[in-house]
Amino acid sequence: MATSFTVSEIAERVGGTVRGQSNVRIYGVASLEAAGAHEVSWITHPKYAAVLAECNAGAVLAPSDYGETPMVAILCPLVEAAVGKVINMFAPPIPSPPVGVHPSSIVSESARIGDEVAVGPHVVIEDGVVVGDRTILHGGVHLGCGVRVGSDCRIWDHVVIGHECVLLDRVVLHPSVVIGGDGYGYFQDGGRHHKIHHSGTVRIEADVEIGAGSCVDRAKFGVTVVGEGTKIDNLVQVGHNAIIGKHCLLVAHSSMAGSSRLENSTVIAAYSGVREHCVVGEGSVVLVHTGVASDVPAGQVVSGSPAQVHSRRLRGLAATDRLPNWIRRVKELEKRIKRLECPTNDS
């Protein structure tokens, strides 16, 4: 039996108000082009009005001040958030291993597994591990000695969490994430690099999500931290003793070097890295291909490698682009001044 909601139920869930018939029943969500009579769609801007005019959706999410619509409208102060919420209302359940421990998995007798935990096949749970209630461990997950995982986490296939690392509640780790590998720390002696033992750990706070193949290294001493609500994309590297604040975004292939720090609500775009010991201030945005080589104050937008204020870098890039023209003008000036200096040589 398909999930369905009335328009008024949806409006209530997203904090919107209905304009039109509130008892229309909705069975799904789709784009303006694809939506049918029993689906809800959305419009974010009047520039899509022509598409909306042709749309067959049974209802539409629209900004609070949006004009006439050909179907029932759910007017919302924040349409994008409303769309996200509606998508989640209709989301099918994610296939998961059943509650209990798969017989092929190996669970230490000293591990403490919460209620309604699901442990898939070929999982390894070592001594002293604690797993919170309702957490789901997909196939091949390895939890090292003393690892603590909170409640309502979902740990996808082949994730490795090294000894003593900690995850708080509602953490999602995608396949092949590695938490708690050794940091990249060596000392030089006699022309050789010698490994420094890493005895620290990692703490992943509540509501963090980390994408496939990303790595968070354990601290040399103390703890590497990924703060509450931060979302990390695929193939991201977080070095030893990095401290990432709350509600940050780290896009694919970004990286945090050892002991670097992000304050809350910062964004690091793809291929951007923060150098050892550097700090990116609250709310700052580090654009793509940026090398942060010194501290960035709060509220800045930076780009370039080494990083500079983005607007200033854009001015430099624009000027560079016109350089051949300026060089021509300088050459011309040289000729003209020569003529002024030696009028008799003028040819």
Residues in 199-228 at the binding interface with a second copy, rule: CB under 8 A: 199, 207, 209, 211-213, 215, 217, 220-221
The strand pair at 291-292 and 25-26 is best described as unpaired
Decide if 240 is catalytic: yes
Query: Least Å distance between CB 21 and a second copy?
Result: 26
Query: Least Å distance between CB 207 and a second copy?
Result: 8
Q: Per CB under 8 A, does 283 bind a second copy? A: no
Among residues 42 and 66, whose Cβ is nearest to a second copy? 42
Q: What is the total count of residues that contact a second copy (CB under 8 A)?
A: 109
Per 3-state DSSP, the chain is made up of helix, strand and coil in percentages (nearest 5) of 20, 30, 50
Residues 119-138 that bind a second copy (CB under 8 A): 120-122, 124, 126-127, 138
Q: Per CB under 8 A, does 88 bind a second copy? A: yes
Among residues 38 and 247, whose Cβ is nearest to a second copy? 247
Q: Per CB under 8 A, does 289 bind a second copy? A: yes
Q: Per CB under 8 A, does 271 bind a second copy? A: yes
Rounded to whole angstroms, the Cα distance separating 283 from 263 reads 7
Do 177 and 159 form a contact (C-beta atoms < 8 A)? yes
Among residues 21 and 314, whose Cβ is nearest to a second copy? 314
Q: Which of 49, 100, 186, 295 binds a second copy (CB under 8 A)?
A: 186
One-letter amino acid at 259 equals S
Vertex 185 angle, CA 217 and 289, to 5°: 65
Q: Per CB under 8 A, does 47 bind a second copy? A: no
Rounded to whole angstroms, the Cα distance separating 162 from 177 reads 11
Which candidate in 138, 174, 198, 240 is catalytic?
A: 240
Do 167 and 204 form a contact (C-beta atoms < 8 A)? yes
Rounded to whole angstroms, the Cα distance separating 182 from 174 reads 20
Q: Per CB under 8 A, does 234 bind a second copy? A: yes
One-letter amino acid at 3 equals T
Among residues 83 and 262, whose Cβ is nearest to a second copy? 83
CB burial class (10 A; 0-12, 13-18, 19+) of residue 340? exposed
Q: Per CB under 8 A, does 13 bind a second copy? A: no
Query: Least Å distance between CB 186 and a second copy?
Result: 6
Q: Per CB under 8 A, does 288 bind a second copy? A: yes
Do 221 and 239 form a contact (C-beta atoms < 8 A)? no
Is residue 346 helix, strand or coil?
Answer: coil
Q: Which residues are catalytic?
A: 240
